């Protein structure tokens, strides 16, 4: 199929250029069919995307082979229906040019890292384990290569897949977001270089609770330096996708506090100890710079970390990030040790030599020390014709079940008589922390003055800690000498005091900086699940912590010096306190009652000044007595007890004579300072003959209710019972119905005579 460039004219018409002769073709249905291969398939529910890589290889200044790898998440019971073709967009803002290009699917395979015994048990095959399919789209082998129309430093190529994996655990509404990746090509000044290639897929599997390390497996045979930065994942049209609360680009996983997420900006290695099953997306920006600092290329990787419930430990590599330089005609001999943390696992290593001359290949020998421990020795003597950059790739796999542990190590090798120093003038902050320096080229190297320690056998990486500005002279066996100057800056000092806060209280955490008048930027982070924190604009913290946790502060001054410290914020539980009794009523003024305070506390203070746990108190009036329990660190809990002075009502009469003589004609209260009043009169058969809610209205000796006796008829002579409920004020200035000291219920008998 010929390669094409596509430019949109209007809603229904597109302009198609043939790559050979740029002949303009107007068409309608053809392009619609091609583009719909992408969009129709992407809109089905049988594919959701986990990760993707978009890389390129330069054939000539403007011609490139593009390679797109898409990693699809298998859905239980669903057929995988990947894209048949993928649309790549390209544009240059500086030139004002843009267009499209089509890549055809060339291969597809399942890459779920299941052990051979359980290889068919992923949900790609109807099994129980989360599976992943890899599909490759490329124009390799196509005689019509992807051709840029003009030189520019900002050619951007991009790809969008419409549906992300809905099981992603660290993004907001992942099922509503698409996946966007891009790469930058710089073809100015006759530049023709490949982008970094990646031997490690971006969908690694790890076990919950076990330290993991993900290596990018980058292959870069250009004479350049790679840097790695964690950025926010992107959606369609380069829009940012928000993380869930508690996650960020610097904290993209749920991890344990003792092993938080760390990305090495120079090797791309990610180290972390995941907490719980999760599927976390991490976007990694890989930038390539030459010795002058010019951006040569960049790649945006979309990585998804899959964490499952398993028990497979990591594979340890020594050295962890191998890189070597050698002069022509010198012998390069080194050994990489590979050991699985589990003694029962068996390691297998597949080696690859990238870029080496076919007529002078190195010797690579594997020595099996034990089933879980293998040594890989590399020996090579390059000639003067072999100057260049090469890569040794070790693809390491163990046989743990159900998930095998895979790690890819890439060891860059320079054959040159040059000493490659990215920056000959470096600033170092004199804050007491050592600084690592890395150089490339033909080694081994000799430093003068000697660094504090060598971090590689050939001294390509060293640790320094100068107390004053120092110029280092570096030489190698090729007779080359270079200098590197380290300017020592004063730096600053950062401290944050440990904090103890009582449960439910707000806390203010202020860092102490010397000098205090410097210009600083702040970055607070926390992996605390109950109090997640990600604040890059907070010079201090003001919040209410709910549980004890560790918080990390990174401070950078105006010169780029930085310090990091952690502070433990301890949330102390409030003391328990109970007062017995919770309320009491004294029958008479001056009565002494006993109140006891029980609970878990260090000290107690009563509102009357007493400090004993058991006190006696005289009640002279209605009052509230409170007690405050205090812990060693000053956390307080206060409880109170209500104390009431009961007032007794005067006695009720025992007889009355409703004969109209004006003397004792009604049965009623002899006082009226009452509320919540109700009086009921019953005859000897229990029938209600009178009810009143007015304390000033008594019973006049007549039936006042219809029933078996007619209302209004004089009641018979005899004995009647009564029930009176009320709240009264008898000296305590309160007739509150809810005050138990004022509540009364009177029951008795009254004799009616005439």
Contact assessment for residue 551 and residue 524, using Cβ atoms and an 8 Å cutoff: yes
Task: Work out the average pLDDT over 474-497.
Answer: 89
Residue 33 DSSP symbol: H
Q: Which residue has the higher pLDDT, 158 or 507?
A: 158
Contact assessment for residue 52 and residue 118, using Cβ atoms and an 8 Å cutoff: no
Residue spans of the domains in the chain: they are 4-311, 316-415, 419-489, 493-572, 578-645, 655-752
What residues does 376 pair with on adjacent strands?
Answer: 336, 366
CA distance linking residue 32 with residue 55, whole number of Å: 26
281-304 per-position pLDDT tens digit: 999 999 998 877 788 899 999 999
Domain 419-489 adopts which CATH fold? Immunoglobulin-like (2.60.40)
What residues does 625 pair with on adjacent strands?
Answer: 641
pLDDT bucket at 34, cuts 50 / 70 / 90: very low
Task: Determine the pLDDT at residue 7.
Answer: 37
SS3 label, residue 629: strand
The pTM of the whole model exceeds 0.85: no
For 113-126, b/e burial (b = at least 16 CB within 10 A) is bbbeebeebbbbee
Count CA atoms closer than 13 A to 621's CA, side-chain side: 6
CA distance linking residue 499 with residue 549, whole number of Å: 10
Task: Work out the average pLDDT over 374-393.
Answer: 94
257-272 per-position pLDDT tens digit: 778 899 988 889 999 9
Tell me if 316-415 shares its fold with 493-572: yes
Q: Which residue has the higher pLDDT, 433 or 239?
A: 239
Phi and psi of 620, rounded to 5°? -105, -20
Asked whether the predicted pLDDT for residue 673 surpasses 80, the reply is no
Query: Which residues neighbour 167 within 8 Å (Cβ) at sequence distance 6 or greater?
Result: 73, 130, 174, 279
Count CA atoms closer than 13 A to 275's CA, side-chain side: 14
680-706 per-position pLDDT tens digit: 999 998 889 999 998 888 999 998 865
Contact assessment for residue 297 and residue 290, using Cβ atoms and an 8 Å cutoff: no
pLDDT bucket at 709, cuts 50 / 70 / 90: low
Average predicted confidence (pLDDT) for the chain: 85
Task: Work out the average pLDDT over 177-202.
Answer: 92
Lowest mean pLDDT among 59-73, 338-352, 719-733: 719-733
DSSP track, 670-717? S---EEEEEEEEE-TT--EEEEES-TT--B-SB--S-SSS-TTSBPPS
Report the share of the chain in percent with pLDDT over 70: 90
412-447 per-position pLDDT tens digit: 898 989 888 877 888 888 766 788 888 888 888 999
CA distance linking residue 543 with residue 277, whole number of Å: 29
Task: Determine the pLDDT at residue 44.
Answer: 45
State whether CATH 3.40.50.720 applies to domain 316-415.
Answer: no
CA distance linking residue 632 with residue 580, whole number of Å: 23
Domain 493-572 adopts which CATH fold? Immunoglobulin-like (2.60.40)
Output the CA–CA distances (angstroms, integers) from residue 589 to 582, 592, 621, 646, in the order listed: 20, 9, 7, 8
Q: Which residue has the higher pLDDT, 739 or 148?
A: 148
656-668 per-position pLDDT tens digit: 999 888 889 999 8
Contact assessment for residue 146 and residue 124, using Cβ atoms and an 8 Å cutoff: no
CA distance linking residue 441 with residue 482, whole number of Å: 11
Asked whether the predicted pLDDT for residue 19 surpasses 80, the reply is no
State whether CATH 2.60.40 applies to domain 578-645.
Answer: yes
């Amino acid at each position: 199929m010929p390669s094409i460039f596509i430019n949109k004219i209007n809603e229904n018409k597109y302009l198609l250029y043939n790559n050979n002769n740029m002949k303009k073709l107007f068409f309608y249905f053809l392009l619609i069919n091609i583009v719909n291969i992408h969009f129709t398939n992407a809109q089905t529910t049988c594919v959701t995307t986990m990760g993707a890589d978009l890389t390129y290889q330069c054939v000539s200044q403007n011609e490139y082979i593009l390679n797109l790898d898409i990693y699809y998440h298998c859905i239980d019971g669903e057929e995988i229906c990947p894209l048949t073709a993928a649309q790549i967009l390209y544009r240059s803002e500086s030139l004002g040019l843009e267009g499209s290009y089509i890549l055809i699917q060339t291969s597809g395979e399942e890459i779920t890292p299941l052990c051979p015994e359980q290889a068919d048990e992923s949900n790609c095959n109807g099994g129980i384990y989360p599976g992943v399919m890899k599909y490759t789209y490329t124009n390799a082998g196509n005689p019509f290569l992807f051709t840029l129309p003009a030189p520019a430093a900002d050619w951007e190529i991009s790809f969008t897949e419409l549906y992300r994996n809905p099981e992603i655990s660290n993004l907001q509404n992942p099922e509503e977001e698409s996946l966007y990746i891009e790469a930058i090509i710089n073809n100015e000044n006759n530049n023709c270089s490949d982008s970094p290639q990646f031997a490690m897929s971006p969908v690694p599997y790890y076990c919950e609770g076990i330290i993991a390390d993900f290596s990018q497996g980058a292959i870069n045979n250009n004479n350049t330096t790679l840097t790695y930065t964690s950025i926010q994942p992107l959606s369609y049209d380069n829009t940012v996708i928000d993380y869930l609360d508690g996650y960020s680009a610097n904290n993209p996983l749920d991890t344990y506090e003792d092993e938080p997420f760390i990305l090495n900006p120079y090797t791309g290695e990610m180290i972390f100890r995941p907490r719980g099953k999760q599927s976390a997306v991490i976007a990694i920006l890989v930038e390539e710079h030459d010795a002058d600092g010019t951006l040569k290329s960049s790649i945006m990787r979309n990585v998804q970390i899959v964490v499952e419930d398993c028990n497979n430990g990591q594979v340890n590599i020594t050295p962890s990030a191998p890189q070597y330089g050698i002069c022509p005609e010198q012998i390069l001999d080194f050994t990489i040790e590979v050991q699985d943390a589990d003694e029962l696992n068996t390691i297998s290593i597949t080696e690859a030599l990238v870029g080496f001359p076919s007529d002078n290949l190195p010797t690579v020998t594997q020595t099996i020390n034990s089933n879980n421990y293998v040594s890989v020795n590399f020996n090579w003597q390059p000639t003067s014709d072999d100057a260049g950059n090469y890569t040794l790739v070790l693809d390491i796999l163990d046989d743990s079940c159900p998930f095998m542990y895979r790690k890819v190590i890439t060891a860059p090798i320079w054959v040159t008589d040059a000493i490659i120093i990215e920056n000959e003038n470096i600033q170092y902050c004199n804050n007491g922390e050592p600084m690592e320096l890395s150089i490339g080229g033909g080694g081994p190297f000799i430093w003068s003055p000697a660094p504090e320690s060598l971090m590689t056998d050939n001294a390509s990486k060293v640790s320094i800690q100068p107390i004053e500005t120092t110029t280092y002279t570096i030489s190698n066996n090729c007779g080359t000498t270079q200098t590197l100057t380290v300017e020592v800056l004063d730096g600053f000092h950062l401290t944050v005091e440990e904090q103890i806060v009582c449960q439910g209280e707000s806390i203010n955490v202020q860092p102490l900086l010397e000098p205090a008048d410097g210009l600083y930027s702040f970055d607070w982070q926390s992996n605390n699940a109950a109090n997640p924190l990600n604040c890059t604009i907070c010079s201090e913290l003001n919040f209410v912590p709910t549980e004890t946790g560790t918080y990390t502060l990174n401070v950078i001054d105006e010169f780029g010096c930085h310090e990091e410290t952690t502070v433990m914020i301890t949330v102390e539980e409030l003391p328990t306190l109970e007062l017995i009794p919770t309320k009491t009523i004294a029958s008479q003024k001056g009565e002494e009652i006993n109140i006891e305070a029980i609970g878990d506390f260090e000290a107690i203070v009563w509102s009357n000044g007493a400090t004993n746990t058991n006190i006696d108190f005289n009640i002279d009036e209605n009052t509230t007595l409170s007690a405050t329990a205090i812990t060693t660190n000053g956390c307080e809990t206060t409880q109170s007890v209500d104390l009431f002075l009961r007032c007794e009502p005067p006695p009720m009469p025992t007889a009355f004579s409703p004969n109209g003589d004006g003397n004792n004609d009604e049965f009623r209260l002899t006082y009226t300072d009452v509320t919540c009043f109700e009086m009921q009169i019953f005859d000897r058969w229990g029938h209600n003959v009178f009810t009143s809610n007015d304390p000033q209205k008594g019973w006049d000796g007549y039936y006042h209710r219809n029933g078996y006796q007619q209302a209004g008829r004089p009641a018979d002579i005899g004995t009647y019972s009564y029930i009176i409920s009320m709240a009264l004020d008898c000296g305590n200035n309160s007739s509150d119905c809810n005050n138990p000291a004022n509540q009364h219920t009177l029951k008795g008998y009254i004799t009616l005579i005439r």
